[in-house]
Copies of this chain bind each other. A is one copy, B any other.
Amino acid sequence: MTRQQSIHPFERAIAVRQDSDGTVLAEASTDYWAFMGQFGGVTAATCLNALLRHPDAAGQPIALTVNFAAPIQEGALRLSLRRMRASKSTQHWSIEIHQGDDPEPRTTATAVLAERRQSWSHQPATPPSMPPIEALRELVLPDTVPWVGRYRFWFESGAPVRSSEPLSPPGTACSRFWLADAIERPVDMPSLASMADTFFGRIFQVRGQIVPFGTVSLTTYFHSDADELRAIAAARVIGRAGARRFHRSYSDQSGELWSPDGRLLATSHQIAYFKA
């Protein structure tokens, strides 16, 4: 096995290095390709990875909002990170991704880092009651985009549907599934940021058809801290997702990522374009 191959594809996809002028450089990952450019989850994770490695960054990720203004194309990415404001315990950052000589950013993002002090803990959300992975059939989607193959999915309900006609009545917008990197690795903050975008577009299963679709804005909240993630060392997580309204070409969707032992690790919310 060469050294190159021994690096996990996710690590390769989100790798960043500092240029001499302070710009952060990355490379679009064809391993994680989507319909029209890089998979949004990897774009989000690259932003977070660049931030967490920034010399001025302090604290743990609390919130990350990524706006997908234009698809990330093949080739180099230039990330500019600005610390907008910092207090003793909180930092607000702004991130832009540029490509080529395009003067406008293809991605804009904001992120909040914070010191996570010990506090009272309480989890009102109920963990999904899931059968073990072994009792479920693994999702097989042969003719799909590359990023899907970088993960493994075991759906308990709400798997993607392909119907010759739009479903009537519409299919459920809810899904529950086990999720893992295809080559398993313990879940950390960047991988949570990426997994937060692995909830397939709700429109696909609700209509039962693949229609033009694109996430416009994705917000992820991190409920777990780095100590907890390290202690759990989970390579598999449970995903639960739903949507509330499809109207005039846009719809929301919300997703949760749970540890196998029932702790909510992250939630993600997005608004997406659809054509139907």
Contact = CB atoms under 8 A, between A and B. Distances in A.
A84 B102 CA distance: 12
Contact of A123 (B84, B92, B124, B247): B247
Nearest to A242: B124
Contacts of A85: 69-70, 104-106, 108
A68 to B, nearest CB: 9
Interface of A: 62-63, 65, 67, 69-70, 84-85, 87, 90, 92, 94, 96, 104-106, 108, 110, 112, 114, 116-125, 166, 170, 172-174, 206-207, 216-217, 219, 221, 223-225, 242-250, 252, 254, 256, 263-264, 267, 269, 271, 273-276
B276 A120 contact: yes
Contacts of A65: 65, 110, 217, 219
20 contacts: A62-B217, A65-B65, A70-B87, A84-B104, A85-B108, A94-B108, A108-B110, A110-B217, A112-B271, A117-B249, A123-B244, A124-B173, A124-B206, A124-B243, A124-B244, A124-B246, A221-B252, A224-B247, A225-B248, A244-B267
A207 B247 CA distance: 37
Closest 8 CB pairs of A and B: A116-B248, A125-B244, A69-B85, A124-B173, A63-B217, A69-B92, A85-B104, A120-B276
A105 B247 CA distance: 34
A170 B122 contact: yes
Nearest to A118: B248
A246 B84 contact: no
